[in-house]
Structure 1
Amino acid sequence: MAKSFDEERLLDTLRHTEVVLFRVDTSLRYTWVFNLPECFADAGLIGKSDGELLTAEEAEPLMQSKLLAITSGEPARLPCRMTLCGHTRWFDLRILPQRNADGDGDGNGNGNGAGALNPVSELLISGHDVTERHLLAARLHELTHHAEEMRERSARLESLGLLAGGIAHDFNNFLAGLAASISLAQTDLQISLRSHEYLQAALDASFAAQQLTRQLLTFTKGQAPHKHACDMRELLEDATHFALRGSSVAARFEIDPALWTVEADAGQIRQVIHNIVLNARQAMPEGGTIRVMAANAEPGVGGHNDTAVFAAPSVAVTIQDTGTGIAEELRDRIFMPYFTTKGTGTGLGLSTSQSIVQRHGGSLTFTSTPGVGTAFTVRLPAQPGLRVEAEEEAPAEMRGSGRILVMDDNELIRKLVTEFLQNAGYEVAAVSDGDACLRVVAEGLARGETFDAYLLDLTIPGGRGGVDTLRELQLLHPTARAVATSGYAEEEPMIHFARHGFCDVLAKPFRFEVLAATLDRAMALDGNPPLPRPAPREVREHLHDVSL
C-alpha cells in the first residue's frame, strides 16, 4: 500500500517517539507493525495472533477487546502487558476500527458490524510504551508497602519496648527477692562449705538472669549512650567469646597492648561487637577462625580495611571472617532496618549497630569479597591517657551504723533488706510507699529524730514513687541523702539520678555488699546537694544483645 508524502513524514516523526502502531485484520492477526521496541525486533508478529505470541494471561484481554471493537465498531482503550523474545513491556493501547467505504467488510461480500453497514475491515492500534512509568509505579508501590511494614514493625517494637520495661521491672524485683534470700542464707554459719558453694552458684545464676532483661531492653529501646572509660581489650574478648560459644568458630585476637582508652557505653558497644561477631559466625557454617583486631589510629589515619579518617585520635576495631562474603547487589542494603538474608531474625542487627556507633561519634564500615570473607571495622573516638575506672572491692566485713529508711512495694524485698541491714548494725524502718515514708519521717522529726539515708524504690504501682517522694521529703529533710533503686536500670532517674536529688543508685537485683558500700558512700556525704557524676557501672552497663 503506497503511502502519501504526509504519511511518510508522520511515520518518520513517530520513529523518534515511544509510539507503536499495529494493523490487525478481522481474524485478529497482525498485518503490519511499526516502531516496535528494539527488544521485540525478532518477535515475528506478522500473520500471527496474540494467542500464538503471548501468554494466556496477556492474550485473553487483548483478543476480547479487539473482537469487541470489530463487532461493535466502537474504539477502545486498554492497558496491556506483552512478553516477547524474553522481554516484557507495558503499553497503553488505543484500538480504532477501520471501515471500507464500499461497505464490504473483507472484500468478499462478508459484512460485519451494525447491520453490515460500513463494516469494520481492520483495526488500527496505537500503543504508547509506558514500561518505565509502570516500573516506577510498581517500585513506588513496593516502597510504600515496605514503609508501611516498617511502621508496623516499629509500632510492634515500641509496644514490645513498653512491655519489656514492665517485665524487666517485675522480673528484677523477683530476682532481687531471690538474690537477697540466698545472700542471707550464706550468712548462716551452720551451713557447710559445699552448701555455701551451691548457694553462690544460685546467686550468680540470678544475676546472670538479670542480664537477660537488659539484653531485651537494649534490643527494644534505642537509647543515648552513657559513656565512661572502657577497657576495650576486656570488652572485645568478652563479647566475642559470648557470641561464639557453642559454635565451631574460634577467635584470634590481635590487640595493641598499648591500646588507647575509649569513652563509651560499654553495654552498647558490647552489643555492636556481639552483632558483628554473630554475623561472622553465621557466615562460616563449616567453622574456622575470625580475626579480632584493635589498634590505635592517629588523627588523619585510617584503620584496618577502613577509609574513614578521623580528625582526632581513635581506636579501630576490625572483625574479619573467612565466610561467604556479601554479594555486590546487597551491599547498599546491609545497614537498612529489617533487611536480612537469613530465614530467621529481624534484620535489625547491623542497622542498630550502625546507629549505636554513630551516636558515639564513630563509624561502622565494611569490605567484602564473595567467597573470601568480610571485614567490619568500628572506629571510635579515643582518649589517650585516660585511665579505666577500677572495680570497687567488697569490704571484708559488712558492718555499719546509722538509721536507714527502706521504701519498697515488694514485701519480701523489704523484709530481707531490713534483716540484712539490721544484722549489719543499722537501725531500719521499712515502708511500702511514698505516703508512708513521708508520714514516718514527719513523725520522727516531731520527736527530733532523722534518718541518715533513704533507700527509695522509683516505681510504686498505685502509690507515690521514689522521685515524687524525694521531692516532698526534701521539704521536710533538706539534707536527705537518698539512694534510688529500681528493677529497671534504664529509667531516666537511674541514669541521671543527681538531677532528681539522689546521691546514688542501686539496680535490682543487687548484692548485699554493694548495698552496704552504697549506703556507706551516701552517709559519708556532707549535707550539700549531691554533685552530678556518672551512674555506677552496674547501672550503666548492659550485656550483649540477643541474636538479631
Structure 2
Amino acid sequence: MKISARFLLMTASIELSCILGLLIVFHFLIIPWHVETVKEKAVEIAGAMRAASSHTELSTVSVQIRAEEFAAASLGDIKSKYYLVVLVFFIVLTFLVMLVSLNIYRRIISPVSLIAAAFTGAGPGRAELLSPLAEHDDEIGGLAREYMLLSEKTERAINEMRENEKKSAAGEMEEKNALIAELNEKNRELSALNEKLLSEVEEVNKARQAMLENESRHRALAESTFEVSCETDIGGNYLYVSPNNEKMLGFKPEDFIGRNFSEFVHPDDIPAAFGAFQKGLQGLKADAVLRFRHRDGHYVWIESTGAYYQTASGEVRAIIVSRDITARRRLEEETIRAEKLDAINKLAGGIAHDFNNIITCLTGNMILLRKNAGDAKKFEEITERIEKIIKRAAGLTRELAADSEGGSIATASMDLNLLLRSVAEGLPDLKERGIRYNLELKDGLWPAFVDGEQVLRMIAGIIGNACSAMPDGGDIEVKTDNLMVFENDRSLMMAGRYVKISFKDTRRGVDNASAAKIFDPYYCREGQKDGLELFNAYAIVKKHQGYMTASADADRGLVFDIYFAASGEAKNAAAEDTPGGSRAALKKAKVLLMDDDEEILQSLSENLAEEGYQVGVSLSGEEAFETYKAHFESGDPFDVVVLDLIVPGGAGGAETVKKLFEIDSKVRAIVSSGYSNDPVMAEYRKFGFSGVIAKPYEIRSLCEIIDSLAKKI
C-alpha cells in the first residue's frame, strides 16, 4: 500500500503536537513539583543536621553546604530521570500515533481515494474498484453500494439505447433514402423553375432598362422645358421637383422635398390650392392660378395643372406642371387698368354731358319761371318741366350710386318669369314705336336668388337700350331656361345650377368687336348715342355674382345672355308688401328730422309741415338724441325719426338709432342716404331701422313711409 506525503505530514504534525504538549506539562507542572519536594527534603535535612550539630562539633556552615550539595544531587538526579521519561514517552507516543494514522488511512483516506478514482475514471469497469468498499458497514460502504447500483442502472440504460439505435438505424436509412429521392425530384423542379425565373428576370431587366431610359428621357424633357414639373403625395407634400424650378422660384429642388406646398403658396391662395387638389381627387380638371413665394420674398404668379395616378403599391400621387405667368398677369392687369381708366373717362365725360344738359335746362326754365311769375298757368307749366328735369337728374345719380362697386343687394328666391311678365305689362307703348316684344318663358323655371327691384331695373335698361338702337322698329325676343354647369365643363362659370335669360334684338351695325365694348359707359357707335343702360345692367348682374355676355347674332342683331344662381322655392316679388300703401288720413304724426345739411332740413321740414306733420329738426346725431330724449321723458315722444346715414365729424344714423333704443325700445326710425348701396341701406332692419328711403326722393314717398310706420303705433 502506498503511503502518501499528505498522510506522513499529518502523522508528523500529530506527533509534534503531542511532544510539545508533553514538554509543556513537564516543564510547568512536574519539574516545579519535584523541585519543591527536593527543597522540602533539603530543609528537613538541614533541620536534622542542625539538631545533630548541637551534639557534634559540625558548624552551621558545614551543615548548609551539605544540604545544598544534597539538593543539587537530587535535582540532577531528577533531570536525568525527566529526560529518560521524555524519551520513553516520545517513542511510545510515536508508535501510537503511527498506529492511529494507519488506521485512519485504511478506513477513511483509502476508501475516499477509491471512490474519487471511480468517479473520475473512464470505462465500464469503474464500479469494480468499489467492490471491496461495498463490504463495509459504515457510511463509505453505503456510498460505494449506491454508486455501484447507479452505475449498473446507467450501463443498462446505455445498452438499451444502443440496442434501440441499432434497431432504428435500418428504418431511418430507408426514410433517408426516400427523402433523398424526393429532394432530387424537388431539385429537378427547382432547376426548371430557376431557368424560368432567369428568363423572367432577363425580361424584367430589359423592362427596367427601358423604364430607366424612359425616365431619363422624361427627366431630360422636364429639365429642358420652361415649365416646372413636380410630384406630390395625396397630402400635397413634394416628392420630386424638376431642377428648372430654381430659375422660376429661386429654390433648389431639394428645398422642396418633404415639405408641403402650403409653405410656399400665398396664404390667401391656400383654399384655392386645396380646392384644386380636391377636384383632382374627384377625377375633375384640376387647374389653378396661385401665388408662390420666391426665395427673395416676393410672390410669383404660377399657373398649374395636374392629374393623379396610383402607384403599384396603391399610393396616390399627383403630377403637376406649372408655368410662370407673372409677366402675362402684369400685362393683363395693365390692360384692365387701362380699360377701366378709359371707361372712367367715358363715364365722366358722359355724366358731365348729361348734367350740363340738365343744368342748361334748369337755368333756362328758372329764367322763364321768374319772367312768368304773374302768369299762373305758365308758371305751373314751367314748374312741371323743372320737376321733370330734377327727376331726370335724380334718376341719373341713383343709377350711378347703384352701379358703384362694393354695393350691397337684398336678395331673395324669386321667379324670374314673373318679373319678365310684369315688365311686359308695363311696356304698352312698344307697339306704337313699331317694336314687337315676344316672351318664350320656360315652364318649371328654377327660382333664382336676386334683388327684384334691381333686376327690374336691369331688364328695363336692356329693353330701353334695344329700343334706342332700333328707332325704326324691330323685334325683341326674351327667353328663359335652366342650365346645369358641371366641374369638367370648359366654362368660365362656376359649377352649379343657373337660370338663364336671353335678350335678342334686331339692331343693325353690330359686330363682335362692338359687342365686346357694349358694356362700357356711354359707348357710342356711329349714328347712335348710348348712355348707362347696359353699363348698369352689367353692374347689377355682377353684384349678384352672375354672368352676362353680349354677342353679335349671325342673322343680324345683338344677343345678351344672363345667368343667375338658382335657388329653392321662389318668392313672388309682386306679392311683397311695400313700405308705402294707401296714405291714411293720419296727418298729425310727430316727426324728428336729422340731417347735417340745413337746406335739406329746411325744405323737408316746411314740406312736411304743410302736409300736416309736427316736425322737429336737428343737425347732428347727438342733437337728435338729446331732442328725442327730452320729448320722450316729457311724455310727448316723436312718432317717427328720419336719420341721415352719414354725418361727417359726428354720429350718423346707425350710431344714433342704437342710442335711441337705449331709452325707447319702440323707436321707429327711417334711414336716408345718397349712398344707396351702403350695407345699412340694403339690410336696414338688421341695424334697427323700420324703413329706408334713398336720396333724392319725393316728399310724397317719404310721407307714405312715415304714415305706414305711424299706423303701427
TM-score normalised over the length of structure 1: 0.49
Structure with larger RCO (C-alpha < 8 A, sep 6+): 1
TM-score normalised over the length of structure 2: 0.39
Bigger share in strand: 1
Larger Rg: 2
